[in-house]
Amino acid sequence: MKKILIIGGGAMGSAFSVPCLENNNSVTITEPYSKLFIRNLSSKNKFHSALKINLPKKLKFRKFSSSLLREKFDLIVIALSLSGIDFIGKQFKNLNIKTPILVLTKGLKYEKKNKKIFTISEQLKKNYNVSNISILKGPCLAKELARKNQTSVIVANKNINLAKKIGKMISTKYYIIEFSKDIIGIEVCSAIKNIYSMIIGAGQSLNASSNLFQKSVIEMGYLIKYFKGKEETTLGLAGIGDLYVSAAGGRNSKMGSYLGRGFTFKTAKKKFMPNDTVEGEQLAREIAPYILKKIDKKRIPLMNNLLRTIINNKKLKIKV
């Protein structure tokens, strides 16, 4: 039995506890921010309002604190939103955490000072001296995982043996783990697929969307290679696998459908999705200063058009 700490009580962090518990681990979950999720997880029946299920009774909830982070765990899982990475990075740095880390969070960070885009693992290493980081990405809907529907994901670490050690801790018959050394490629893929799922959603027919899907995969392959990842990663779970799930019915593709119908982003957000977080939009605003200046627009016309559409609040114009 291994001891696992999950930081982040949202849908994905809570759903991730299910296979970890089924694999006979001792699992503790904590939530630094959300009062709603704290109430959910600390309640007697552990009903999670986002997942709409009762979580396993064996799941332990603990109040977030530095003393909790100091306790001995075999694995610490980061399942916070992108905005929480700086917060937890500072905590780890102050406490000099050496426990193996597994990052579920998806996203990229643009640093104006260095004029560079960093992945989450790079950000944690560079800014907070966090080491021994593995990442977990792939086409995984939290509600499906929580209900034990078959799910395949990929764990990446340059030391493949460490990745496989983590895989052994968390895998079940329905939670299937693949492995990779390409941390950068997988992190970049898992982030930019949110933007490309908006683009695919903009197609107003299956024919148009399939064409945009094909062109999106080509652009993703170019960007992965540009950021020093492996182009073939685009064809894996973190690439077309995750892109398919997002384009098939996520919030990003939903927003894309409104953009494809001629609405500007601000109008569509206010009129149709006022309470929804659109991750692709957040990422677009984060990386646009770099992408629009540094990368040849002829190589990534879809990405270029969508970034300008969101940044300038213009109508989307994409030639299929």
Same domain membership, residue 62 and residue 203 = no
pLDDT of residue 52: 96
Q: What is the pLDDT of residues 244-255, one digit of tens each?
A: 999 997 899 999
**pLDDT band at 28; cut points 50, 70, 90:** very high
Domain final residue pick, 122, 150, 183: 183
pLDDT at 112 over 80: yes
User: Which strand ranges, in their side-by-side order, compose the sheet holding 60-61?
Assistant: 60-61, 26-30, 3-7, 75-78, 101-103, 133-137, 151-156, 175-180
Report, as an integer, the average pLDDT of 117-125: 95
pLDDT (tens digit per residue) in 260-283:
999 999 999 999 999 888 999 999
CATH code of the domain covering residue 276: 1.10.1040.10
Longest CA span, the chain: 56
Work out the end-to-end distance of the chain between its first and last CA atoms, rounded to an integer number of angstroms. 53
Q: For residue 224, what are the domain limits?
A: 191-311
pLDDT greater than 90 at residue 29: yes
Q: Which residues pair with 60 in a beta bridge?
A: 28
Q: Is 105 helix (H, G, I), strand (E, B) or coil?
A: coil
Domain end residue (candidates: 158, 183, 208): 183
Q: Strands 101-103 and 75-78, how do they pair?
A: parallel
Residue 161 has pLDDT above 70, yes or no: yes
195/262 same-domain check: yes
Of the chain, the percentage scoring pLDDT greater than 90 comes to 92
Same domain, 102 and 234: no
Query: 13 and 151 in one domain?
Result: yes
Q: How many domains does the chain have?
A: 2
In this predicted structure, the answer to whether residue 60 has a pLDDT above a threshold of 90 is: yes
Q: Has residue 319 got a pLDDT over 80?
A: no
> What pLDDT digit, counting tens, does each position of 35-44 carry?
999 999 999 9
